[in-house]
Amino acid sequence: MSPGYTPVMAKLTPKQRENIPTKDFGLPERARTNAQKREPGNYPMPDRGHAISALRRAERQRELGNLTKDEFERIDRKARRKLRKKRAKH
């Protein structure tokens, strides 16, 4: 990979988002129902790539003032835990 290369994250279809367990969202209280899971802003993290994406999006939204400090910290902790867990398995 060349420097600065960022792999393209596969988009989740609405059906795929519905099948993700609520606990695998950065803000699970925003993803309790299938309808809520389909909405943006709940930070799905079913895998390593989506955890990285959630971190980046959360940082950007925090800078824009769209996330509270608490929301950002919760997303950050969950994503970093998921990234550590996946790395330990290899």
Alpha helices in the chain (DSSP H): 14-18, 34-38, 48-63, 69-89
* Domains contained in the chain, number: 1
pLDDT at 1: 39
From CA 57, how far away is CA 75, in angstroms rounded?
10
Question: Does 14 fall in a domain?
Answer: no
**pTM score above 0.95:** no
From CA 61, how far away is CA 65, in angstroms rounded?
6
C-beta of residue 12 within 8 angstroms of C-beta of residue 34 = no
pLDDT at 87: 62
pLDDT at 11: 85
What token pair was written down for 85?
């867990």
> What's phi and psi for 43, nearest 5 deg?
60, 70
Question: Does 27 fall in a domain?
Answer: yes
**Residue 31 domain boundaries:** 21-89
- Per-residue pLDDT reduced to its tens digit, 10-69: 689 999 999 999 999 999 999 999 999 999 899 999 999 999 999 999 999 999 999 999
